Amino acid sequence: MSELDAAWAALNAAADRARVRRIASLFDAEPGRLARLTLEAAGLTLDLSKQPWSLPDLAELLDLARAAGVEAARARLLAGEIVNRSEQRPALHVALRAPAGAGLKAAGVEVSSEVDATRAAMKRFADGVRSDTIRGATGKPFRAIVHIGIGGSDLGPRLIWEALKPLEPRIDLRFVANVDPAELAQALAGLDPAETLVVVVSKTFTTLETLANAEIARAWLRAALGEAGADGHLAAVSAAPDRAQAFGVAPDRVFAFWDWVGGRYSLWSAVGLSCATALGFAAFERMLAGAHAMDVHFAEAPLERNAPVLLALAHVFNRNGLGRPMRAVVPYAQRLRLFAPFLQQLEMESNGKRVDAQGRPLTRGTAASVFGDAGTNGQHAFFQLLHQGTDIIPVDIVAVREGSEGDPAMQRKLLANAIAQAEALLVGRGEAEVRAELTAKGLDPAEIDMLAPQRTFPGDRPSSFLLLDRLDPERLGALIALYEHKTFVEGVLWGINSFDQWGVELGKTLATRVLGELEGGPAGGHDPSTEALIGKLKV
């Protein structure tokens, strides 16, 4: 048996032990548990003590990380080696948040100079717009930005803006992703084209949704400002700058990024231009600094104190050892309500794979399905299932000590709920206690037999608890980088390439074909259900 197979067998044995004990019992059995399983990293505190592992189990999981080559893979990632083999690319998003002059290389080519130059160009643009030095065609200052992009060109910037936007923004930043015309119509509603900047963000500049939205937005600008006037209201961000220019964006308004930046890892690049402009470049730089601090932690902390590594191991223990194919993410911060959708792309597009990096079928499960919403809202929606459903779904809880705004007493109520939910998931409420309560209330025995099981909470449901002192740019950057690296480590443990996404291609190809048929082109060659739908909807 190879060292790796032996390590997976040890994980399964650890899971067998975990199945027959309660997590809560481990606090008595392991006096050092809380301290050992609480980590500080880049301004975040992570408590993994409510996970189902014992300390010896964790030691075995760390052996798995070593046997799977996590340390060597981390070194290759951070050195800019080609870790995305199916596309022959590095995945050097860490270079985007490294301090100026870092001298990092992607596939042996120095890239930090270009990163620094683009950052400087972004700053000039953001400062120019914010100081009204850069104005629209009619001389009016820009008061709104419409950011058009989808997937990685949307979810990160949307999350950042929601998390950090001022209560009364000077620049009204709106996002459009969907090819559903309703989203663009809503985004443009009430805006004055003379005061609006349209930023088209697409790594490939071939994405159907983004190009369709960009064309309509450009037409909207042109109708009000004329062709020449509209040009000054367009900017683009792309790893294919020539395509952006061919679309009609002036060369000095095209901001580049590179094929070594994966779409879902791109918010640190010029993809963040709209946010950097609407929030101010200083806030954007602070976010980069927070992410960089997490990069340093990931690179330097030993595996046993490494937050991304431990978070990944907790997930893999639940996913593979204990057979739990879902995870809920609940930030107790309304400003982080888009964290779950962001993680859905990060984790499910990165690690939703069924073959390994060599193309061989995998014998164990990979990424869990991720879902979630802000707490406390989620408590009134899906928490019933978390507490009493037939499946055990581990939960990542994120809480913020100081609220961004508003009444501190409400913030305490929010925090109380975060803590209480983690406790309820862990300890539950036993049937004997419920029966005693119902008996004390004078219910008859038949009624108690019916009610008690329904009012019992099994508990023993794992959670991770992540605490941020404040939701500031640094901590937001660190939080996102933590999950990026966690996702990478999971990919290494599973032996997959986390940086490609071939699974999104088939639907795109078929949509193009179906569109042709809906618009009257030659039809046929589909299954009967698809044929029938095309028949019903074609013009």
Of 152 and 462, nearer to ligand F6P (C-beta) is: 152
Contact 80, 111 (CB under 8 A): yes
Q: Does 403 bind ligand F6P (CB under 6 A)?
A: no
Choose the binding region for ligand F6P from 96-104, 145-153, 415-423, 470-478 (rule: CB under 6 A): 145-153
d(CA 203, CA 236): 10
d(CA 401, CA 397): 13
Of 207 and 376, nearer to ligand F6P (C-beta) is: 207
d(CA 10, CA 4): 10
Which residue among 51, 84, 202, 318 contacts ligand F6P (CB under 6 A)?
202
Tell me how far apart the terminal alpha carbons of the chain are, to the nearest angstrom: 61
d(CA 115, CA 416): 43
| Cβ within 8 Å of residue 419, ≥6 positions away | 399
Cis peptide before 376 (omega within 30 of 0): yes
Q: C-beta of 202: minimal distance to ligand F6P in Å? A: 3
Q: Which of the following is catalytic: 215, 227, 447, 508? A: 508
Of 445 and 502, nearer to ligand F6P (C-beta) is: 502
Structure tokens at 400: 């913020």
Of 80, 86, 17, residue with least CA distance to 54: 17
Give how far Cα 70 sits from Cα of 65, 309, 492, 499, Å.
5, 9, 6, 16
Of 263 and 495, nearer to ligand F6P (C-beta) is: 263
Contact 493, 362 (CB under 8 A): no
Q: Does 156 bind ligand F6P (CB under 6 A)?
A: no
Q: Which amino acid is at 211?
A: L
Of 306 and 501, nearer to ligand F6P (C-beta) is: 501
Choose the binding region for ligand F6P from 14-22, 198-206, 401-409, 443-451 (rule: CB under 6 A): 198-206
Which residue among 38, 45, 178, 204 contacts ligand F6P (CB under 6 A)?
204
| # residues contacting ligand F6P (CB under 6 A) | 14
Contact 333, 374 (CB under 8 A): yes
Please name the residue that has the structure tokens 């992607």: 106
Give how far Cα 218 sits from Cα of 231, 249, 469, Å.
8, 10, 42
Do β-strands 463-470 and 395-402 pair in parallel, antiparallel, or remain unpaired? parallel
| Cβ within 8 Å of residue 43, ≥6 positions away | 290, 293, 468, 469, 474, 475, 478
Do β-strands 463-470 and 44-47 pair in parallel, antiparallel, or remain unpaired? antiparallel
Q: Does 417 bind ligand F6P (CB under 6 A)?
A: no
Choose the binding region for ligand F6P from 9-17, 78-86, 187-195, 200-208 (rule: CB under 6 A): 200-208
Contact 145, 178 (CB under 8 A): no
Q: Does 203 bind ligand F6P (CB under 6 A)?
A: yes
Q: Does 344 bind ligand F6P (CB under 6 A)?
A: no
Q: Does 157 bind ligand F6P (CB under 6 A)?
A: no
Of 193 and 272, nearer to ligand F6P (C-beta) is: 272
Of 160 and 466, nearer to ligand F6P (C-beta) is: 160
Choose the binding region for ligand F6P from 43-51, 109-117, 196-204, 434-442 (rule: CB under 6 A): 196-204
Q: Strands (DSSP E) along 281-343, which ranges?
A: 326-332
Q: Is 349 a catalytic residue?
A: yes
Give how far Cα 214 sits from Cα of 145, 158, 161, 211, 256, Å.
13, 17, 21, 5, 18
Positive or negative CA dihedral for 154, 46, 498, 368?
Answer: negative
Which residue among 112, 210, 318, 351 contacts ligand F6P (CB under 6 A)?
210
Q: Does 274 bind ligand F6P (CB under 6 A)?
A: no
DSSP code for 265: G
Choose the binding region for ligand F6P from 54-62, 169-177, 202-210, 214-222 (rule: CB under 6 A): 202-210
Contact 461, 425 (CB under 8 A): yes
Of 151 and 403, nearer to ligand F6P (C-beta) is: 151
Which residue among 50, 130, 264, 486 contacts ligand F6P (CB under 6 A)?
264
Which residue among 153, 320, 411, 463 contacts ligand F6P (CB under 6 A)?
153
Of 275 and 316, nearer to ligand F6P (C-beta) is: 275
Q: Does 263 bind ligand F6P (CB under 6 A)?
A: yes
Contact 87, 500 (CB under 8 A): yes
Q: Is 380 a catalytic residue?
A: yes
Q: Does 272 bind ligand F6P (CB under 6 A)?
A: no
Choose the binding region for ligand F6P from 148-156, 322-330, 466-474, 529-537 (rule: CB under 6 A): 148-156
Q: Does 501 bind ligand F6P (CB under 6 A)?
A: yes
Choose the binding region for ligand F6P from 48-56, 146-154, 304-312, 383-391 (rule: CB under 6 A): 146-154
- Please report, to the nearest 10 degrees, the dihedral formed by the alpha carbons of residues 482, 92, 75, 98 taken in order: -70
Q: Which of the following is catalytic: 380, 413, 447, 538? A: 380
What mask of x and - would describe binding to ligand F6P in positions 81 to 100, judged by CB under 6 A?
A: --------------------
Do β-strands 369-372 and 395-402 pair in parallel, antiparallel, or remain unpaired? unpaired
Q: C-beta of 205: minimal distance to ligand F6P in Å? A: 7
3-state SS, one letter per residue, for 21-77: CCCCHHHHHCCCHHHHCEEEECCEEEECCCCCCCHHHHHHHHHHHHHCCHHHHHHHH
Q: Does 178 bind ligand F6P (CB under 6 A)?
A: no
Of 56, 71, 65, 58, residue with least CA distance to 4: 65
Contact 253, 219 (CB under 8 A): no
Q: C-beta of 345: minimal distance to ligand F6P in Å? A: 7
Q: C-beta of 148: minimal distance to ligand F6P in Å? A: 10
Of 197 and 239, nearer to ligand F6P (C-beta) is: 239
Q: Does 223 bind ligand F6P (CB under 6 A)?
A: no
Structure tokens at 378: 């989620």
What mask of x and - would describe binding to ligand F6P in positions 428 to 457, judged by CB under 6 A?
A: ------------------------------
Residues forming the active site: 349, 380, 508
The residues of the shown chain that bind ligand F6P, judged by CB under 6 A, are: 150-153, 202-204, 207, 210, 263-264, 349, 501, 504
